[in-house]
């Protein structure tokens, strides 16, 4: 390359990077008919995107719609509205054949590794399956399975063993190996470490981080515990009753949350030291946020208004739009 071309390339404006995943105004409803239409949507107008190599954390209490978003992206749940684009391609209503074609590029790790590991199938056969579906020979699939097991910290001989011969943490490593064996671009991790004890959790999180950096992977990392999400994610999306309450850079959202719900979520996340735990408890109480048990069904306005200590008439009448506050986007009239 001549010096002139090199200079020209240096000064040329960078092409805008295409997101790995784009979710826009996603709506998901369960059930059919009039009853479903009357019930609040499980996911109600959610938008976010994930850049190549980026991890976005999706956090919220149980029942807030996190898994439903993951399922819609993976094609396991139909969407009632909105658009899902993967590498620029609209996959919102992709049919089975189109999904199969994507299969290797878009993979998942769930909380319960038993959902992706058949107890009657050897580990080698489980790992080879997605490769065999793509026409890889049995011998090559076995080699790849052995190499992948080694990469996730298990012995090569594990190929001939069965899921019941491994601990929960090891089974989760195997599930990670199975998700990554087809060299995916995006992995949806839904509560992938939530069932593990703290030290195993840390090991699997480190493994996920190493694999991401080695392969330039993108993750949608779903968890109810914001401290787990904080470890991996560059950006965090906070969900409450199917709606985004706050989203932005992980440091901003987790260290100086703006939305009253995010503040409560951070105060509720467990910390290892007893003194810190007591501080968190005091903070939680001082926030005055009511528990989820106090909430009744469908309502207009801010979805958090029944629990929010700052709620006014405006909050119960009008749903707040997301707007920029500091580094984050926040849906609160008084942020
Ligand atoms: N298969 C289903 N049928 C009907 N409702 C469901 C189903 N799965 C989830 N829901 C409801 O959708 C909402 C969101 O659930 P989910 O996405 O599993 O939340 P999360 O993963 O955040 O715990 C909840 O109110 C839940 O009860
Ligand atoms: S909009 Fe009102 S009810 Fe909702 S979080 Fe803000 S202050 Fe609380
Ligand atoms: Mg879930």
For ligand 2, say whether the CB of 289 is within 6 Å of any of its atoms: no
Same domain, 220 and 309: yes
Nearest CA to ligand 1 atom 4: 30
| 13 inside domain | no
Q: Is residue 285 part of a domain?
A: yes
End residue of a domain, out of 154, 181, 208: 181
Residues above pLDDT 90, as percent of the chain: 73
Q: Which residues of the chain have pLDDT under 70?
A: 1-16, 293-294, 297-299
In a domain, 2, yes or no: no
Structural domain contains residue 12: no
Judgement on whether residues 198 and 139 belong to the same structural domain of the protein: no
Ligand 1 shell residues, CB under 6 Å? 30, 42, 60, 62-68
Report pLDDT for 12.
53
Domain residue limits at 266: 19-105+182-330
- The CATH number assigned to the domain holding 290 equals 3.40.50.300
Q: What is the pLDDT of residues 106-165, one digit of tens each?
A: 999 999 877 778 999 999 999 999 999 889 999 999 999 999 999 999 999 999 999 999
Last residue of a domain, one of 181, 199, 231: 181
In a domain, 4, yes or no: no
Residues 285 and 325 grouped into a single domain: yes
Is the domain of 196 the same as that of 292? yes
The number of folded domains in the chain is 2
One domain, residues 298 and 246: yes
Distance 42 CA to ligand 1 centre (A): 6
Q: Do 175 and 217 share a domain, yes or no?
A: no
Verify whether ligand 2 is closer than 6 Å to residue 304 (CB atom): yes
The answer on 288 and 271 residing in a single domain is yes
Q: Which residue from 240, 302, 328 has its CB within 8 A of the most atoms of ligand 2, so it is best to mutate?
A: 302
> What confidence score (pLDDT) does residue 99 get?
87
**48 and 133 both lie in a single domain:** no
Which residues are CB-contacts of 89 (< 8 A; sequence separation ≥ 6)?
none
51 in a structural domain: yes
Residue 3 counted as domain residue: no
Pocket test for ligand 1, best of 26, 60, 63 (most atoms within 8 A of CB): 63
What is the structure's pLDDT at 133?
87
Whether ligand 2 lies within 6 angstroms of the CB of 86 is answered as no
Q: Is 258 in the pocket of ligand 2 (CB under 6 A)?
A: no
Is residue 144 in a domain?
Answer: yes
Residues 175 and 188 reside in one and the same domain: no
């Amino acid at each position: 390359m001549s010096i002139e071309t090199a200079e020209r390339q240096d000064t040329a404006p960078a092409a805008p990077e295409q997101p790995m995943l784009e979710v826009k105004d996603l709506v998901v409803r369960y059930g059919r008919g009039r009853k479903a239409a009357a019930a609040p949507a499980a996911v109600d107008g959610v938008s976010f995107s994930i850049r190549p190599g980026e991890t976005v954390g999706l956090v919220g209490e149980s029942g807030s719609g996190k898994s439903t978003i993951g399922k819609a992206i993976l094609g396991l749940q139909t969407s009632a509205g909105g658009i899902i684009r993967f590498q620029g391609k609209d996959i919102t209503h992709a049919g089975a054949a189109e999904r199969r074609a994507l299969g290797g590029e878009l993979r998942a790790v769930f909380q319960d590794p038993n959902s992706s590991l058949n107890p009657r199938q050897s580990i080698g056969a489980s790992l080879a399956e997605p490769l065999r579906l793509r026409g890889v020979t049995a011998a090559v699939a076995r080699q790849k399975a052995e190499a992948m097991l080694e990469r996730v910290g298990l012995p090569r001989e594990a190929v001939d063993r069965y899921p019941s011969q491994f601990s929960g943490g090891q089974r989760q490593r195997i599930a990670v190996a199975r998700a990554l064996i087809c060299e995916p671009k995006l992995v949806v991790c839904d509560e992938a470490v939530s069932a593990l004890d703290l030290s195993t959790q840390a090991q699997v999180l480190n493994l996920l981080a190493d694999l991401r950096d080695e392969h330039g992977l993108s993750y949608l990392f779903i968890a109810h515990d914001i401290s787990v999400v904080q470890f991996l994610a560059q950006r965090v999306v906070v969900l409450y009753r199917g709606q985004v309450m706050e989203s932005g850079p992980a440091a901003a959202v987790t260290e100086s949350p703006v939305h009253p719900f995010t503040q409560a979520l951070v105060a509720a996340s467990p910390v290892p030291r007893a003194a810190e735990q007591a501080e968190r408890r005091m903070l939680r109480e001082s926030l005055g946020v009511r528990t989820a048990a106090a909430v009744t069904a469908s309502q207009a306005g801010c979805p958090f208004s029944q629990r929010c200590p700052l709620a006014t008439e405006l909050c119960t009448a009008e749903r707040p739009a997301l707007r920029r506050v500091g580094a984050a986007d926040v849906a609160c009239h008084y942020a």
